[in-house]
Amino acid sequence: MIKFLVDLNANCSDYAVASTLNLAYKIFKMICVIVPIILIVFATIDVSKIMIAPDNKKNNVSNVFKKVMAAIIIFMVPNLMNVVVNLNNLAGVGTSTFSIASCLNNSETSSKSITAAVYKEGAGTEKGSGLTGMFGDLSGLSQYTGSSGVAGEGAQKLINIAIGEIGNNEADGTHMKYETFMGFDGSEPWCAMFVSWCANEAKFIESGIIPKYSACSDGVAFFQGKGSFHLEGSGYTPQPGDIIFFGPGGSSHTGIVEKADANNVYTIEGNTSDMVARRTHARTGSTVYGYGTPAY
């Protein structure tokens, strides 16, 4: 799994938390600048009142002092928080209060570091040790993606990419990118091309995890050569991210397994009714030949 480039003391390895707190912290720091400016303006007005009405000097001086002190304190709050959090980290104190403060304080660094790491390697939703520990998984607040533009890693990354293609079809030509990727002009069956395109987007072809194939039989041969092909009925339970093959020798059709149970296998397939769609197949008494299991 991807190793995020985040200081462990930041307590903010959840991207959703880091990015959300980063925005909140920026607003907080802005307030800590704007409010002191307003207080100084009012203090200046009080000074002018002292000059105009010196008889009320005592009260006006007191008001000026209070406003100036409040402005200084508010302006210094972010810096004071930095000092407290840093002292806490040095002392190794691990209370939840300081963990949240540390997460807030380090949110900008965490967010940038995670973004850089994800862009480089791609990643799935990770739960950090910051606010997620108190409020549960907040990953839904913000999606983050890998270089392919899709979140996930391993089998889930391939599945997520395939999900994003659902609905592409021959009628409007949105299927053509799969054929173009394989060097065809749109006149060939494209189920294997769809799987190959998704695998390429996930960087699994260049790493040799999934083959680039336009003939289903070539896909079967690839997994058989690696000893990772399983015939339906052999007792193997298909796993998410497996490549499914149909027909005699697996040469008729192919797709991506999204999930399976004892009776059915649920897939995402290209060139099924001339489009990319989810399908459900009975595991027995159907045309399912077997499954290739990529070494994610």
Q: Answer yes or no: is pLDDT of 8 > 50.
A: no
Q: Is 35 exposed, middle or buried (0-12, 13-18, 19+ CB in 10 A)?
A: middle
Q: What is the pLDDT of residues 125-184, one digit of tens each?
A: 333 333 334 333 434 333 333 334 555 678 999 999 999 999 999 999 999 999 999 999
Closest of 176, 174, 125, 187 to residue 152, by C-alpha: 125
Please give the Cα distance from 270 to 195 (Å, whole number): 7
| Position 32, amino acid | C
Contacts of 189 (CB under 8 A, 6+ apart): 271
Q: Answer yes or no: is pLDDT of 79 > 50.
A: yes
Structure tokens at 84: 């407290």
Determine contact, residues 253/246, Cβ cutoff 8 Å: yes
What pLDDT score was predicted for residue 117? Answer: 45
How much is the mean pLDDT over the chain?
77
Determine contact, residues 178/270, Cβ cutoff 8 Å: yes
Determine contact, residues 36/71, Cβ cutoff 8 Å: yes
- At residue 176, the 3 state secondary structure works out as helix
Mean per-residue pLDDT, 218-245: 97
Q: What is the pLDDT of residues 49-67, one digit of tens each?
A: 777 766 666 666 778 888 8
Signed CA dihedral, 226, 227, 233, 238: sign only: negative
The three state secondary structure string of 198-230 is: HHHHCCCCCCCCCCCCCCHHHHHHHHHHCCCEE
Please give the Cα distance from 117 to 45 (Å, whole number): 51
Please give the Cα distance from 291 to 42 (Å, whole number): 74
Please give the Cα distance from 131 to 258 (Å, whole number): 31
Please give the Cα distance from 283 to 292 (Å, whole number): 15
Listed range (73-87, 90-104, 171-185) with the worst mean pLDDT: 90-104
Q: What is the pLDDT of residues 12-41, one digit of tens each?
A: 445 555 567 667 778 888 998 999 899 899
Mean per-residue pLDDT, 187-215: 95
Q: Answer yes or no: is pLDDT of 75 > 50.
A: yes
Determine contact, residues 163/191, Cβ cutoff 8 Å: no
Signed CA dihedral, 146, 148, 150, 153: sign only: negative
Q: What is the pLDDT of residues 40-52, one digit of tens each?
A: 998 888 888 777 7
Contacts of 117 (CB under 8 A, 6+ apart): 2, 3, 4, 5, 123
Determine contact, residues 211/218, Cβ cutoff 8 Å: yes
Mean per-residue pLDDT, 211-215: 97
> Torsion angle of alpha carbons 47, 50, 52, 54, nearest 10°?
-170
